[in-house]
Amino acid sequence: MSEHDEALREEFLAEAGEIVEALSRDLLALDQAQREGRDEPGLVHEIFRGVHTLKGLAHVFGHHKMGALAHALEDLLDDLRLGRIALGQSVLDVLFEGVEHFQRLLGNAERPVEAASEGDLARYAERLERFAPAVPPAARAPAEVYELDEQTLGVLTEYEEHRLRTNVEQGVPLYRLDGSFALASIDTSLEELKQRLKSLGEVITILPRSGGGPPDVIELTLLFASRAPVERIAEAAGAQVLVAPVPRREERPTRPPTRAESPGGGTAAEVAGRRPTIVPAPDPEARPATHERPAGPAERSPSDAPAAPLDREGVETGRGAAHTVRVDIRKLDHLLNVVGELSLVRAALGRIEERLRGEPSLRALALELQRARRGLDRNLDEMQDGILSVRMVPLRQVFDRLARVVRQVAREHEKQVRLVVTGAETEVDKLIVEELTDPLMHIVRNAIDHGIERPTLRELAGKPTVGTVAINAYQKGSHVVIEIEDDGAGMNADKIFETAVRRGLVDRSSRDELSPHEILQLVFLPGFTTRSAITDTSGRGVGLDVVKTNIARLGGVVDVSSEPGVGTKLTLTLPVTLAIVRALLVRVGAQSFCLPLSAVEEALAFDPAAVRRIDGHEVVSVRGSTLPICRLGRLFGIAATLPPDPRSRRRGFVVIVALGQRRLGLVVDDLGGQRDVVIKPLGPSLRAVRGFAGATDLGEQRVALVLDAPGLLEEVLGGVDRPVSLARAPS
């Protein structure tokens, strides 16, 4: 594959992925509206436009399976938005299934041999064909009820005509909203107006009218259907928009419209009586009878954006430029590496500056170098912060997928579950977000399958029949905390311990040595499951141990707490970014190591005489609390370079690392200050070595291993007491 083809493929995957995620969000909102008995035709229209765009995108890039799937869904959505079929759970189910097919096709775009089978797609297409449109009953044409001229009706799209007819059939009053908008800000102004009107009714169409105003101003008419009082509509529309009821055929207005001020000049009554000259706008949704040219990524516009403004000859004019650009994350990684190299240059300049200060004749030069280095520091810090901020994305991207999982799993298990999400705008490094999807989905499935009870059991327990899975995310220092909590049956510690014994994961004699919290942690052991029967959701012995492993790979920890009959909460603690980290340099023997500062709570002098042993672990007392410690030299098998000084009680330092509820003291020989480091992977040959997150260049041909704080916590507190196999690193 050529470099150009590879770039096009990545462009397609990114663009199509965004569309599919938007489809998923809109479907979830439509499902919620349907459950609440609300009619949301705008959402159906948004979903139709998204699938229409995806169809064109797939055909342009040669993904014909996806194009055929989108075409079949588009037909169903067209019938749905035009009222030919009714929205119900069966229709929603098949639409959600379509999103899953899209995601599978996108996921297999890099591995064509694993692509979705023709049989699966053929069976799905047959399901779509079963939704035959009903024949709509005869209804009065809008022009028979309202005084709408044929020229206006002639430029309406099929969908707009359907929405107008539906509102007329339901007896919803119609209004004309006339206003003038500056071309420079028309997109923003129109969107703000639509948002203000949204709660009062439905904007059926937006049409240009000729007002003979300045060339940088466009005059528009909004046809608006609403049952709200005209005063409320006028208040929401604003002082610069004229609101006038559209007269019915059997009625004549006896008073002028509410707004006395007209943006086009003249009194309100005079403006209401004008017949605007309509300039037909291009219909982006019209389906030509001949072969249509699909839209590419650059041609796609947001589905909720207003039509492009027209100039005085009726030609579309592009007045706005995009404020976003898609960037390959590998380019950002390269820039981060460059910033890391510049950090080494900065450190080298600092050392040169120190040497110059030692020479009296060169102090003036040292001061000049110091000023230049400070400028470099400031700009380098801004560059680093800017690159990191570009890599940050909101957790909403993951949480939106979870909402679909909750709906699907709850229906499979005949349970009623609602998902409550807070903190969705919390931002995390994009690479972390991508790796979080599977662990979070597993946790949510587990909560519904094992935690949430069936409605009858919940009712007997005095709980609401609808269970709740709540997800809360927030930033805590240099970490992001994600809490997943359910109000289900909770965990039974005795049952968990007996299951672990039966599966040979622990010895029965260890029961008295384990606290209730430690027993709950047994659910993270490989092969642990309380289910005897295998289902699509659980019982295969692949459970929360995979979640724990994946979270640890991201430099995070997972903790669980539960109360029988009340519910269970899993807490994930993750670093905000894995790219550039602030690290504490520590020394063990002749080796230098970097410890991410985000995991460091404090550093204390180490007194060997204060060490005690409890349950086989060395511990010290810190301000009245017992702290387990780990001597890194012993764990890594590194000999001390200097013999201990018998006259000194201090033998190095204890660096306290804390993640979530866990704390551990790492005993080191010396501290070497703080610095920003770019973590680089160890490579395939050393990837399996536990306790290390990567390596970093310290400059002057020195390399230091970066310690994996979550891994060390698990290694030590999990009871492992043997040296880690350590590849020798340059000191």
Contact 402, 440 (CB under 8 A): yes
pLDDT (0 to 100) of residue 307: 39
Q: Which residues of the chain have pLDDT under 50?
A: 110-116, 254-255, 259-322, 533-542, 648, 719-731
Distance CA 376, CA 378 (A): 5
From its phi and psi, is residue 94 left (phi > 0), alpha (psi between -120 and 50) or beta? alpha
pLDDT score recorded for residue 554: 80
**What is each CA distance from 657 to 321, 670, 725, in whole angstroms?**
48, 16, 22
pLDDT in the model for residue 53? 86
CB 435 within 8 A of CB 550: yes
Give CA separation, 289 vs 170, 286, 371, 540, in Å.
32, 10, 70, 53
If you write DSSP's letter for every residue of 683-701 in order, what string do you get?
-GGGTT-TTEEEEEEEETT
Tokens standing for residue 630: 């780990």
167-213 per-position pLDDT tens digit: 888 888 999 898 888 888 888 888 889 889 988 888 888 888 776 66
User: Over the stretch 652-670, which tens digit does the pLDDT of each residue have?
Assistant: 899 998 877 788 999 999 8
At 433 the pLDDT is 84
Q: Is the dihedral of CA 145, 149, 150, 151 positive or negative?
A: negative
26 Cβ partners below 8 Å, 6+ apart?
A: 43, 46, 47, 50
